[in-house]
Amino acid sequence: MLSLAVNVASWNQKEDSNARLAEYEEFESKILEKAANNGLGGLIEFDEELQRFRVKKALEEQMFYYECYEEFRNESFWDELTVRLSDRDLAKSVGQKAWEAMSEDERRAKTKAWEKRYWAEFSKNGIDRVVVMAPPGEG
């Protein structure tokens, strides 16, 4: 569970997140070191490059926390893509100022049809039919 938390925390791209992530990684390393010294050495290795203990790379993808992490990433991607595209469509429909004046609950209520349409599209075709159209003269 700690490794799952560290993996999720590593996605934080805010300026001040590196020091806080290092604290998570240091804590994870200490716990894994203790686990390695108490009968779980077959699951844990010391990463020379990172200078910390970690779950063995060869085993990581087989572990439940990794499955949870990958599922979280996948679901987050599709959810965010759907919500952001729906919000974009709503903002175009009502205007940016009106969109900004809405609460999150109001936005979600007004984007249900768009979200349903995007979910149906992505469920059927994934990103195969997603296209970015640059204005003339760009790209």
Interatomic CA distance for residues 98 and 9, integer angstroms = 34
pLDDT digits (tens, 9 = 90+) for 66-102: 899 999 999 999 999 999 999 999 999 999 999 999 9
Mean pLDDT across 109-117: 97
pLDDT digits (tens, 9 = 90+) for 40-68: 999 999 999 999 999 998 898 898 988 99
Interatomic CA distance for residues 46 and 118, integer angstroms = 44
8 Å CB contact between 44 and 55: yes
